[in-house]
Amino acid sequence: MTFIFAFYQNKLGRGHRDKVHQFMTITGTSEKAAYQALKASDWHLEGAFDAFYSQPQPKSYTDARRLEDLYNRYKDAYADMIMADGITLLCSDILVDHQDIVMLVLSWHMKAATMCEFSKQEFIGGLQSLGVDSIEKLREKIPFMRSELKDDQKFREIYNFAFGWAKEKGQKSLALDTAIGMWQLLFAEKHWPLVDHWCQFLQARHNKAISRDTWSQLLEFAKTVDPQLSNYDVDGAWPYLIDEFVEYLIENGIIQKGQLSDWTQKH
């Protein structure tokens, strides 16, 4: 910390210091960068986050030889790819569980075509886009990658990416069990109260693979329709499966029909 910044930091009140700490924790930035961002937004946290995420993040110089060495550390012995064993080793090196959502975010940065696989181009290109060329630097990027899930636009991109990434090669739809696992992982971040009911409904009534349209529309439903369904439009352009889900919630007493809008009840 520079002398000048330390001087300003000492003048800050408790509330401002807490905001600096919160901004640093979420974005992974330095104290100085957090202070400057908050000061520029008149100490409004949301405004500081919006400004931070709207700016392209500076890319650090990466060393091609170090990237090549990293790839070779994880590359499969029998294929020019990083496969499940290599990804398990990578997770061990960066100290995260293989089921941690940060691995989905990392795969999104790598534009990975398939779960549990990285081509050489995907792996090296992804690390270059993050500006890292060592395990230590990648570990340091983990708080930043977690923070990207808090940005609505990036979350939408990661959510939509997850469908193609998680489905089996050559399949147009996503296996139900896989879709349920991905929804539980993703909505643990966005705290959609109906996610468990949705998954139970699918297992009880649907028991089929999930289409891309249903996948993408569910995020819109979760974002725009409140958990009590008071603003649910029965004539809206929702996939039939979401309409059936609403009926399921009412039939099982999870949502009281009286909680729906008067207009909806008439239709």
Please give the chain's pLDDT, 267 residues, in tens.
Answer: 443 344 445 567 777 788 877 787 777 677 777 788 878 888 887 788 777 766 665 555 678 899 999 999 999 999 999 999 999 999 999 999 999 999 999 999 999 999 999 999 999 999 999 999 999 999 999 999 999 998 999 999 999 999 999 999 889 999 999 999 999 999 998 889 999 999 999 999 998 999 999 999 999 999 999 888 888 887 778 888 999 999 999 998 888 765 554 434 444
pLDDT of residue 264: 44
Does one domain contain both 38 and 119?
A: no
- Are 139 and 168 found together in one domain? no
pLDDT at 20: 79
- Among 30, 253, 28, 225, which residue's Cα sits nearest to residue 145? 28
Separation CA 57–CA 117 (nearest Å) = 26
Whether residue 2 is contained in a domain is answered as no
**To 10 degrees, the CA torsion angle through 206, 209, 215, 217?**
-40
Does residue 237 share a domain with residue 186? Answer: yes
Question: Measured between alpha carbons, how far is 187 from 244 in angstroms, rounded to an integer?
Answer: 20
Expressed as residue numbers, the domain containing 214 is 153-252
1 is a domain residue: no
**CA 248, CA 254: separation in Å to the nearest integer?**
8
Domain boundary among 116, 149, 182: 149
The enclosing domain of 185 has a CATH number of 1.10.238.200
Q: Do 168 and 144 lie in a common domain? A: no
Residues 211 and 242 in one domain: yes
Quick one: 138 and 206 in the same domain? Answer: no
pTM: 0.75
In a domain, 93, yes or no: yes
| Residue 262 pLDDT | 44
pLDDT at 260: 57
Residue 172 lies in a domain: yes
pLDDT reported for residue 236: 78
Q: Does any domain span residue 122? A: yes
Residues 199 and 220 in one domain: yes
Q: Report if residue 262 sits inside a domain.
A: no
Last residue of a domain, one of 129, 149, 169: 149
In this structure, is residue 216 part of a structural domain?
yes
Domain count, the chain: 3
Q: Quick one: 104 and 123 in the same domain?
A: yes
Domain shared by 46 and 117, yes or no: no
- Name the residue among 221, 222, 223 with its Cα closest to residue 238: 221
The answer to whether the CB of 101 falls within 8 A of the CB of 188 is yes
Locate 86 and state its tokens.
């290599």
Q: How far is CA 237 from CA 149, 246, 263, in A?
A: 27, 14, 16
Contact 111, 157 (CB under 8 A): no
In angstroms, the CA 36 to CA 160 distance is 33
Residue 261 lies in a domain: no
Output the pLDDT for position 54.
67
Question: Would you state the pLDDT for residue 16?
Answer: 79
